[in-house]
Structure 1
Amino acid sequence: MADTFHPSADSDLVTEEELFFDDRAFDGFARAEVSMVLTNPHLEDNPIVYVNQAFTRTTGYPRSAIIGRNCRFLQGEDTEKASVDALRKHIQADETVAVDILNYRASGEPFMNRLVVSPIIDSKGRVQYFMGIQKVLRKGERTAGPDTVNEQLMEVQNRVHADLSMIISMIRQQSAATSVPEDFAALSRRIETLQLLYEEMKLSDTQSTRGTIPMGSFMSRLACAICHIEGRSGVRVSIHIEPAEVPIEVATRVGLVASELLTNAFQHAFDRLDNGLVEIRMSQLSAGGLRLIVSDDGTGIPRNMQWPSDKTVGGRIINGLIEGLEGTLHLGRGAAGSFITIDVPAGASLSE
Structure 2
Amino acid sequence: MTAEGSDAGRTMKMADLARMAGVSSSTVSRALADHPAIPEATRTSIRDLAAKHGYVVNRAARNLRQSQTRTIAVAVPLGHEREQLISDPFFLRLFGYLADEISQRRYDILLVREPSPDAHWLGRLVRSQRADGFIIVGQSNQHKALNLAAGVYRPLVVFGSELPGQAYCSVGSDNFEGGRLATDHLLRSGRKRLLFVGPAELPQIDLRLEGYIKAHGDRGLPVDPGLILPAHFTGTSAYDQVRHATSSGLAFDGVFAASDGIALSAIRALEASGLRCPEDVSVVGFDDSDLASQSRPALTTVRQNVPGIAAALVDHLFRRLEGQQTVSSVLPVNLVVRESAPPP
Greater RCO, 1 or 2 (C-alpha within 8 Å, sep 6+) = 1
The structure carrying a bigger strand percent of its residues is: 1
- The structure whose Rg is larger is 2
TM range (shorter): under 0.3
What TM-score do the two structures reach when normalised by structure 2? 0.26
